């Protein structure tokens, strides 16, 4: 439980034998940077040290959802307009064949947000199939979310950042952490689509008593004038 106190004491019994624990320090609602001191006491010898970051490389992209790109979740027709980025994983030096990445998305705390990594050859996506999702941040969360992908092979992938509700205009920060230097660049919207149908239906055929229950689970959008 978070408490509004300058001093917090946590006490617990350690079982006999060798034990390892992780201590996480956090604020419930961050309004400013805070300095802190962590002290630990025990009746036996112990070691307390900071855990190093898992990843050596880090890149940050500061961008925003605008009137044109605030498309909302995948249940909205404008999902395809959300900011999308191309991730390029190069061929790794032997004996490595795969790598790992971590994406963190930060936005205003009243925005429910989501980030996902999709297998799509680095192209913009108009909808996302479950089989194409490599990693995602789960349920939409306010202000911050993250996803991590392990065993990522060389190739090109697409990163999609979205808010749950369409039309939410505001800035966000996308952070990429990785073991090696990776390319992460925006994928432009203009001219990306020519009217793609990406629907999924329940399995009730024509003439079936359940035919009326068929419904699309994703949307179709056509850009008028596309060739």
Q: What average pLDDT does this structure show over 2-12?
A: 81
pLDDT at 160 over 70: yes
Q: What average pLDDT does this structure show over 67-94?
A: 94
- Give yes or no for a contact between 57 and 182, defined as CB atoms under 8 angstroms apart: yes
pLDDT at 206 over 50: no
Q: Domain limits of the chain?
A: 57-186
pLDDT at 195 over 80: no
DSSP 108-160: -TT-EEEEEEE-STT---SS--GGGEEEE--S-EESEEEEEEEEEPSEEEEEE
What is the model's pLDDT at position 4? 74
Confidence band for 194, pLDDT divided at 50, 70 and 90: very low
Mean residue pLDDT of the chain comes to 84
CA atoms within 13 A on the CB side of 227: 0
Q: Which CATH class is domain 57-186?
A: mainly beta
User: What pTM was estimated for this model as a whole?
Assistant: 0.74
Cα–Cα distance, 197 to 200 (Å, whole number): 10
Handedness of CA 158, 73, 166, 28 (dihedral sign): negative
Report the SS3 class of residue 79. helix
Assign 3-state DSSP to the chain and report helix, strand, coil percentages, each to 5.
5, 30, 65
What is the model's pLDDT at position 190? 64
What is the model's pLDDT at position 202? 36
The tens digit of pLDDT for each residue in 17-56 reads 898 999 888 877 777 788 889 999 998 899 999 988 899 9
The tens digit of pLDDT for each residue in 94-151 reads 888 999 999 999 999 999 999 999 999 999 999 899 999 999 999 999 999 999 999 9
Q: What average pLDDT does this structure show over 89-95?
A: 89
Confidence band for 1, pLDDT divided at 50, 70 and 90: low
């Amino acid at each position: 439980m978070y408490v509004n106190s300058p001093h917090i004491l946590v006490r617990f019994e350690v079982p006999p034998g060798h034990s390892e624990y992780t201590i996480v320090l956090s604020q419930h609602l961050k309004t400013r940077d805070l300095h802190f001191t962590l002290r630990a006491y025990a009746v036996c010898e112990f070691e307390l040290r900071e855990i190093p970051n898992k990843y050596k490389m880090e890149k940050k992209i500061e961008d925003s959802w605008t009137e044109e790109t605030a498309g909302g979740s995948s249940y909205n027709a404008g999902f395809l307009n959300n900011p999308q980025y191309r991730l390029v994983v190069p061929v790794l030096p032997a004996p490595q064949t795969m790598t790992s990445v971590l994406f963190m998305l930060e936005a205003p705390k009243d925005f429910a947000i989501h980030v996902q990594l999709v297998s799509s050859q680095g192209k913009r996506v108009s909808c996302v199939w479950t089989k194409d999702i490599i990693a995602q941040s789960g349920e939409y969360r306010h202000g911050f979310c993250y996803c991590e992908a392990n065993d990522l092979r060389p190739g090109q992938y697409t990163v999609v950042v979205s808010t749950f509700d369409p039309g939410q205009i505001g800035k966000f920060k996308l952070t990429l952490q990785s073991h090696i230097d990776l390319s992460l660049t925006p994928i432009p919207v203009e001219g990306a689509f020519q009217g793609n149908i990406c629907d999924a239906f329940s399995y009730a055929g024509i003439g079936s008593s359940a035919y009326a229950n068929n419904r699309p689970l994703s949307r179709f959008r056509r850009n008028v004038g596309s060739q």
